Amino acid sequence: MGAACSWALPLGAVAAPDTMIAFPAAAPAGRTPQPLPYSQADASRPILMRRGVLTDQGIQCQAFRDEAGVLYTLVGDLGGFVTGDHVQVIGRVVAMSICMQGTTLEVLGIASANAAMPALQLWQGILLPRQQGQCLLFQRQDGSIAALLPQGVMPPHRTPGKASAVVSEPMIRSLPCGSRYPWYQLHGLVMGWPEVQ
């Protein structure tokens, strides 16, 4: 079901503005987590935030029906979620896909819709040029700074600047990013500030 991209930028390349960088929620047992996907994005492709259920209505791709009854298809890492799971999805509209039905979303973040689990949030701000340990530093539009810990392998090339980050509260209270800034799990990152719907 959900197709995953397996290509990355060439060594030494720099991600262009409005490039989407997503991190896998978790690697299935026996699979090494990879940075995925890097894709060239278009500023006209909005980010959608939806809640709903994964369905078996997809022909080529995993289908997702939101709470309003709208059918979407999903590409990217589904974080181990399967048909029947109630999830929240944050993703970018895909201009062209092989999915053949519904609006296709490139998954930036997917999480359980269970109220007891941390909800996904979309922040727009500035990806800072420095990092703290294994964490990226991100300045939100309100001026506050947070440390973002990717849930997969840290992408080798990051360009500071305007960014949209998909984050959630951490499930554990350890301090993997140090104690100077509050930290959050990073699910996906889009360079630029595309429209949010």
Instruction: Parse the chain into domains and list their residue ranges.
Output: 121-191
| Predicted TM-score (pTM) of this structure | 0.72
Structure-token pair, residue 142: 């309100």
Q: What is the pLDDT of residue 40?
A: 40
90 bridge partner residues: 49, 109
Q: What is the pLDDT of residue 36?
A: 32
* CATH number corresponding to 121-191: 2.40.50
Compute CA 48 distance to the chain's CA centroid, rounded to the nearest angstrom: 11
Min mean pLDDT across 19-23, 115-119, 173-177 is at 19-23
pLDDT digits (tens, 9 = 90+) for 45-61: 888 999 999 999 999 99
Whether 163 contacts 189, CB under 8 Å: yes
The rounded percent of the chain whose pLDDT value lies above 70 is 74
The rounded percent of the chain whose pLDDT value lies above 90 is 32
Phi, psi of 158 (to 5 degrees): -130, 140
Q: What is the pLDDT of residue 195?
A: 83
pLDDT over threshold 50, residue 108: yes
Distance CA 35, CA 155 (A): 6
DSSP secondary structure, 131-170, as one string: EETTEEEEEETTS-EEEEEESSPPPS----EEEEEEEE--
Compute CA 95 distance to the chain's CA centroid, rounded to the nearest angstrom: 17
Helices (runs of H) and strands (runs of E) counted in the chain: 0, 12
DSSP conformation class of 172: S
Buried b (16+ CB within 10 A) or exposed e, 129-157: eebbeebbbbbeeeeeebbbbbbbeebeb
